[in-house]
Structure 1
Amino acid sequence: MPNKLLAPSGPGRPKDLIKRQAILEAAKSLFLSQGYDGSSMDAIAAEAGVSKLTVYNHFTDKETLFSAAVKAKCQEQLPELFFELPPGVPIETVLLTIGRGFHGLINSHESVEMHRLMVALASQNPKLSQMFYDAGPQRLLNEMERLLSKADLAGQLRIDDASRAADQFFCLIKGGANFRLLIGCTSPPQDETAEQHVRGAVDMFVRAYRPD
């Protein structure tokens, strides 16, 4: 349902930030339901309950808005704070938090539908595919690479190639179940099943990179 009425701005929540969030939510909804080409800036503005000029004031074009919507979805589940390594906190604890967030992200309805959309558009719009990758998967890989480099310096892990290790970690969390979900052969893992999978993946990763 279109968000015709924006919530009133309150202390600490400037009206511009509320409008920006409304635009992002409208964009995510329309990109998934109408596809990229079928989602005009006019339609996004109407869905968000703002003027078209307001949309362009926040996002210069549809490509920028698409990239911002992908990034916003990732940050909902995996904020940058998750990739910090506070003193005295075991790396296992940090990896479990990231693993749970990533597992929830990739198995969410929005992410599954977006993945299917990008596969469908891959041969038609490689530039859009690259924008999606840079805003979503690549950002997470960069954050994980920095975290693993910190863990190596702190002596909690021994990692020669943090970029490769970051890729391995996310592949372990995805597992085969995510592929089956993408092609419609199963439903998203829930509760204890999801927790056991994440814990098993983190345990395997830590054992592989634990210092001798």
Structure 2
Amino acid sequence: MGTLPTPSTATQLKQEQILQGALTIFLQQGYEGTSMDRVASAAGVSKITIYKHFQDKEGLFTALIDWVTTQRFQIVFGALSLEDPPEVVLRRVATRLLDMLAVDEEYIAFLRLIIGESGRFPAIAQRFIQVLPKKVLRVLTRYFQAHPELKFTDPEAAARIFVGSLITYVMTQKLLHGQSIIPMQQDVLIDSVIDMIVRYPGPATDSGK
């Protein structure tokens, strides 16, 4: 006979069951249009069970942001060796991110949901920024700080330039359906951004002094 899951594992599985149902309904109905009744039906649980694990709809959506973004962060940064040289690390990060977003329509829809609701519910967007972009920037900033040969005067600014280039590509090509208007091959973008970062000559100096 198989062993029964431990209480902590059972709790985690139940929470993930609720979160998966919640994701379906939030993507269909938006934040304001989602009710706990619909989430309960989609998740196959009672409303009491949802409230047992998540205090209210805001708490549920906050947990959903954490759950969804943690999964995607692991896809990009999981098992990534930060001991490798910058050109290797940055290429892996950029390729993993853009390859994932090229096929992950659920996550693209989730990003559209957060952007669309950010005007009325800024705390939603702020939570997303806190748990994903800020985390990514922190990892890359520390990596750049550990590589003085890159000659960055501000490693955090360099991390923002790298991440911002990828975000702009995703925004224009995927989120805003701009592939046919301002097309660009993914490999061309990655090569160009990495070349700009890795071959940065350092701050200009006054040779006359």
| Alpha-carbon distance change, 59 to 92 in structure 1, aligned in 2, over 3 angstroms | farther
| Partners of 1:77 and 1:104 within 8 A in 2 | no
Residue 169 of structure 1: how far off its partner (Å): 0.8
Provide the residue aligned with 1:123 in structure 2: 119
- Alignment map for 1:43-192 (pairs within 5 Å): 43-79=38-74, 81=78, 85-86=82-83, 89-107=84-102, 108-149=104-145, 151-152=146-147, 155-176=148-169, 178-186=171-179
SS at match of 1:166: helix
Mapped to 2, the partners of 1:98 and 1:167 lie a distance apart of 14
Query: Between Structure 1 and Structure 2, whose CA radius of gyration is higher?
Result: 2
SS at match of 1:129: helix
Mapped to 2, the partners of 1:56 and 1:156 lie a distance apart of 52
Mapped to 2, the partners of 1:21 and 1:183 lie a distance apart of 30
Provide the residue aligned with 2:198 in structure 1: 206
TM-score w.r.t. length of structure 2: 0.73
| Partners of 2:22 and 2:39 within 8 A in 1 | yes
| Paired positions, count | 194
TM-score w.r.t. length of structure 1: 0.72
> Runs of 5+ in structure 2 lacking a partner?
204-209
Residue 59 of structure 1: how far off its partner (Å): 2.7
SS at match of 2:31: coil
Residue 48 of structure 1: how far off its partner (Å): 1.8
Mapped to 2, the partners of 1:55 and 1:30 lie a distance apart of 14
| Partners of 1:71 and 1:135 within 8 A in 2 | yes
Provide the residue aligned with 2:33 in structure 1: 38
Mapped to 1, the partners of 2:171 and 2:122 lie a distance apart of 23
Provide the residue aligned with 1:190 in structure 2: none
| Partners of 2:108 and 2:175 within 8 A in 1 | yes
Mapped to 1, the partners of 2:118 and 2:188 lie a distance apart of 33
| Partners of 2:150 and 2:200 within 8 A in 1 | no
Mapped to 1, the partners of 2:194 and 2:106 lie a distance apart of 25
The reply to whether residue 28 of structure 1 matches residue 23 of structure 2 is: yes
Mapped to 2, the partners of 1:51 and 1:209 lie a distance apart of 60
Mapped to 2, the partners of 1:83 and 1:209 lie a distance apart of 26
Mapped to 1, the partners of 2:21 and 2:202 lie a distance apart of 44
Residue number among 8, 11, 26 corresponding to 1:16 in the alignment:
11
Mapped to 1, the partners of 2:167 and 2:149 lie a distance apart of 24
Aligned residues: percent identity?
29
What is the RMSD of the two structures over their aligned residues, measured on CA atoms? Answer: 3.3
Residue 81 of structure 1: how far off its partner (Å): 3.6
Mapped to 1, the partners of 2:187 and 2:67 lie a distance apart of 24
Mapped to 1, the partners of 2:68 and 2:191 lie a distance apart of 24
> Runs of 5+ in structure 1 lacking a partner?
1-7, 188-192
Provide the residue aligned with 2:206 in structure 1: none
| Partners of 2:150 and 2:199 within 8 A in 1 | no
Residue 33 of structure 1: how far off its partner (Å): 1.2
